[in-house]
Amino acid sequence: MSVADQNPYDPILFAQRYGRVPATHNSLEAFEIALKMGATGLESNVWCTADGVPVLHHDRRVGSLIRRRPIDSLSRERLPDTVSSLEDLCRRIDAGVALSLNIRESTAVQAVLEVARRHGIVRSLWLCHTDRSVLADIRETDRDVTLVHSTRIERIDEGPERMAADLSGMAVHAVKLPEQDWTAGLVALFRRFGLRCLGCDAQHPRQVDRLIALRLDGIYGGRVDRLTDGLARRRSGS
């Protein structure tokens, strides 16, 4: 199911590293299984190979423990088959599936946007970064992509309200915080500035239920079954 088919009051369920999925993390098979299990969004880290191909992988390095190599030192053809390129994924999923990518190196941004434009998924793309200056640079490059500021309450030195005002002025669309940082007050504050609210690392049913009750716009979790079960409980009123 794509985001366009959802109830507008349902959060996007972002599959995060896909716990309980019988496939290698970030492989095409894992992405497809997560969607079949009911995820309405996918999450990954994105890196660029030595020949400029954006690929999806949790770590910066690949290989065995004693021969690990940085992804940016290898060409696409030298990476393991289990490492998916963004291009490969775009060919296999519906254009309406929300795709949340953590930008780990700013050099990957242009390559990511080129692939997204080629496949018509720019409006389904959620680009996440911890540095607001990087988000500002991305906004100068593309006016349509959804930008997400990933942070923690303890890192907001100026206070949530000042940060929310700054993000709104920068045309950043959303704030992503760990599950434990979210409160009803923060949700109301960020919504007042037109920001969407995303909660990550919701691994246990009680965490999923809490974020759903707060009516967050998106929830990231490693157990797709727990995300979908939580949404089913909310819909049934149990």
Domains in the chain with CATH codes: 3-236 (3.20.20.190)
The pTM of this model reads 0.90
Buried b (16+ CB within 10 A) or exposed e, 94-130: eeebbbbbbbbeeebbebbbebbeebebbebbbbbbe
Average the pLDDT over each of 78-82, 96-100, 108-112 and give the range with the smallest value.
78-82
pLDDT class of 25 with cuts at 50, 70, 90: confident
pLDDT at 58: 85
Identify the three-state secondary structure at position 90.
helix
- Tokens read off for 92: 């296999």
pLDDT at 2: 46
* Angle between helix 205-213 and helix 224-236 axes, rounded to 10 deg: 50
pLDDT class of 21 with cuts at 50, 70, 90: low
- The stretch 195-200 carries a mean pLDDT of 98
Q: Is the pLDDT of residue 139 over 70?
A: yes
pLDDT class of 9 with cuts at 50, 70, 90: low
pLDDT class of 225 with cuts at 50, 70, 90: very high
Burial class of 159 by CB neighbour count within 10 A (0 to 12, 13 to 18, 19+) = exposed
pLDDT at 199: 98
Bigger pLDDT: 107 vs 177: 177
CA dihedral 20, 24, 25, 31 (to 10 degrees): -80
Average pLDDT over all residues of the chain:
90
pLDDT in tens, 48-90: 999 999 999 888 888 766 678 889 999 999 998 888 999 999 9
pLDDT class of 16 with cuts at 50, 70, 90: confident
